[in-house]
Amino acid sequence: MIYSQLYRQAASKGPVKVGLIGTGHYGTAILTQSMTIPLLHVAAVADNNLEAAKRAFAHAGVPEEDIVICSSRAEALRALPKKRIVVQDPLLLMDLPLDVIAESTGAPEAGARHAFEAIRHGKHVAMISKEPDSVVGPILRQLADQAGVVYTQVDGDQHGLMIGWVGWLRSIGLEILSAGKARDGEVAFKDDFSSARGVWNPNCETSAPHDTAAIAPEDRKWLGFIPDGESAKYLAERHRILKSMPSMRSATFDLCESVIAVNATGLVPDGTEMHDAVVRISEIPRVLCPRSEGGVLEKRGVIDVVIPLRGERDANMGGGVFAVVACDNDYSRKVIVEKGLWANPRQTAAVIFRPHHLCGVETPTTILCAGLLGIATGNDAAYRPLYDMIITTTRAMKSGETLNCEHDPSFKASLIPAVSLRSRGPLPAHLSTGRCLKQDIPAGAVVTQDMLDIPADSFLFDLRKKQDELFGMA
């Protein structure tokens, strides 16, 4: 591949020395995979839980005697030439001879500060944490440009892959009618359509049964293949007969990843709600194309989420990404369809998909591109705050409750055109994470900043205000 050639040309700059912040599932996978890549060296790990950091090194096969816990820069500098270091304070990494900081905490407030400080100290940032990126990513990218370093989303997570996927398709001259991600949750039906089983796979772990729904005999036809022109009807009926399954509704993190991709690609939602189409891979092009061509979309160039539908023996999408493409040239379109892409019945749209996302196992590509080549695999120069994700309560909430919208069914997410904090209207969702309600709010309420106890010294809020000013939204 071209990556290998580019890496070889820049090999004199390597190995790329990485500081990893956060050793959860994703961060640990980066560390374990790095051991097989000579040009990549995870030299230092920061985690509040020192034992977790040591376990991550152990998973990678690093002997315990080669791991040193350090509490100061001087200790770390002494240990670094021959040892791997562990620190509790991520800011200690900023003054060490590291090339790339991989931010993997998932914490909006802390993640934004870590990225900001890395940029200020002249280090590239591989931004794995989508939560801060969804609210202040564009200004962090601007600050990185000014500092001459890279700020990028990463290969391995769906939004980073989606951004790269869209860029590649545009580079070969295809129009993108829609693009998006497959939910980790899916629906697998019995071959006789008598029942459906929801499967949930939130952490790239082995799928396990999650919930089931019996399908009434008169409803089994709706799991059959969608006829031309009946997309809207079939989607509505599938939602009706499967609505009891928790895996049917897009989770907040699906839309968090989607809003980053919107801001990086310029694709937009078809409305405030995702269509959440329950579809086979082969049905995607007949559903997520314009109404005039038999689909459900009101406009072209949209972003969406699909819930994969499959038989028990069929392959799934593995939480991968997809794009429905069109081509003006008849000859090129004929090639696209004949060479393996599923097309809609009118052959005006075809789906190309990537049936996997390998989390930290494939993130080394991004880290090497940043450290060796000085380029991003994620956002490009057009990364701007076009949309925000906001949240609406699904239940009544009491004063004093702490919000964490990422995996909480108490909230429903939606995408709206980017808002200014000065308006004191709907609050970008991850500005609310970890904040306490200062009043009771009913079910169905859009969360605003006036409902929350916001610390006066919130770095994340200050950075978002600066982003609003930078992009003319204040």
Residue 378 lies in a domain: no
Residue 34 lies in a domain: yes
Q: 189 lies in which domain range?
A: 162-357
Residue 411 lies in a domain: yes
15 to 90, 91, 113, 375: CA distances (angstroms): 21, 22, 26, 16
Same domain, 53 and 96: yes
Same domain, 9 and 72: yes
Same domain, 143 and 181: no
- Provide the mean pLDDT of the chain: 93
pTM for this predicted structure: 0.95
Same domain, 224 and 95: no
Say which range, 48-57, 206-215, 233-242, 405-414, has the weakest mean pLDDT.
Answer: 206-215
Same domain, 151 and 177: no
Residue 212 in contact with residue 196, Cβ under 8 Å?
yes
Q: Which of 228, 186, 193, 226 is CA-nearest to residue 209?
A: 186
What local confidence, expressed as pLDDT, does residue 206 receive?
34
Residue 392 lies in a domain: yes
Residue 249 β-bridge partners: none
- Spatial separation of the C-alpha atoms in residues 83 and 105, rounded to whole Å: 23
Report the CATH number at residue 89: 3.40.50.720
Residue 426 in contact with residue 75, Cβ under 8 Å?
no
Same domain, 144 and 175: no
pLDDT at 167 > cutoff 90: yes
Residue 269 lies in a domain: yes
What local confidence, expressed as pLDDT, does residue 56 receive?
97
Q: CA 380, 385, 386, 389 torsion: positive or negative?
A: positive
Same domain, 15 and 52: yes
pLDDT at 192 > cutoff 80: yes
Q: In what order do the strands lie in the sheet with 40-46?
A: 67-69, 84-87, 40-46, 16-21, 100-103, 124-127, 151-152
pLDDT at 202 > cutoff 60: no
φ and ψ at 442, to 5 degrees?
-85, 170
Same domain, 188 and 334: yes
- The mean pLDDT value for 47-52 works out to 97
Report the CATH number at residue 463: 3.90.1210.10
pLDDT at 205 > cutoff 60: no
Confidence of residue 176 (pLDDT cuts 50, 70, 90): very high
Residue 380 lies in a domain: no
Residue 379 lies in a domain: no
Same domain, 224 and 333: yes
Domain count, the chain: 3
Cβ count within 10 A of residue 142: 18
Say which range, 100-104, 422-426, 446-450, has the weakest mean pLDDT.
Answer: 422-426
What local confidence, expressed as pLDDT, does residue 210 receive?
58
Same domain, 342 and 427: no
Same domain, 189 and 297: yes
- 331 contacts: CB under 8 Å, gap ≥ 6: none
Same domain, 192 and 292: yes
In angstroms, how far apart are the furthest CA atoms of the chain?
A: 72
Domain end residue (candidates: 346, 373, 400)? 373
Residue 10 lies in a domain: yes
What local confidence, expressed as pLDDT, does residue 249 receive?
67
